[in-house]
Structure 1
Amino acid sequence: MRSVSDPFQTYAATPCPPTINHERETALAADVARDVAGADRVNDRTTPIMAGEDFAFMLLERPGAFIFLGMGDSPECHHPAYRFNDSILGHGASYWVRMVEKTMPAN
C-alpha cells in the first residue's frame, strides 16, 4: 500500500474518489438520452470502468450522473489516434437542451 500512497505524498496530489453515479440521476440521464437518440441507441447497462475522474468530487457534493456521448467506432479520447467528431455536437447540445426542458419546465 505504501508504494501507492508515497507518490501522492511526494507530489502533494489529492487522491481522486471513485466516480459513482446516483441512481435517480442515472435513470433520468438515460431517459433523456432515449428521448433524444431513441432507445435503440442508448446503452444504460455498461460495464463499470476503473477510471479516475474529477467529476467524482462534484458527485460527493450533489447528486448526478457521469455520462458518455458515443462517437461510433473511433479510438477513445485519451488514445493518440483520437480525433474529435464535430458531427456529434448537435447530439450533445440536444441532450442538454432536453435535460433542461425535462428538469426545469417553463410554467
Structure 2
Amino acid sequence: MRLSTILLLVTLAFCCCEAKSFVCPALAEEMSSYMTTPADDFLRLLSKFGASKEAVAAKLTVKRCTDQLSQETKDRIQNIMVKMLEDCNKIDATEIIL
C-alpha cells in the first residue's frame, strides 16, 4: 500500500470517527503544514504539542518520504483533507487548510 494511501486512511480515522466532535484547529493546522511546509518549519510546529523526541523523529522520517510525492499528488491529498474537515466540522475548511 502506498504511503499516501496510508496517510489518508489514518487522517480519515482521526477526523471522521463516530463521535460528535470537531477537529482541533491545531490538528487541522498540523495536517495542512505536514504537506506544505519544509521539515525545519514543521519541526517548530510540532514542538507545541510536547511530543516525545522519538515520536517527533518518527513523524519527520515519514514527512521526508511524503515530501518526495509529486505536487499533483500533494494537491489531491490537500483537496481530500479539505473535504474531510468540512464534512467532520460542517465548516468552510478552506480557511484552515489553504
TM-score, structure 2 as length reference: 0.30
TM-score, structure 1 as length reference: 0.28
Q: Give the structure with the higher percent helix.
A: 2
For the pair shown, which has the larger CA radius of gyration, 1 or 2? 1
Greater relative contact order, per chain length (Cα 8 Å cut-off, separation 6+):
2
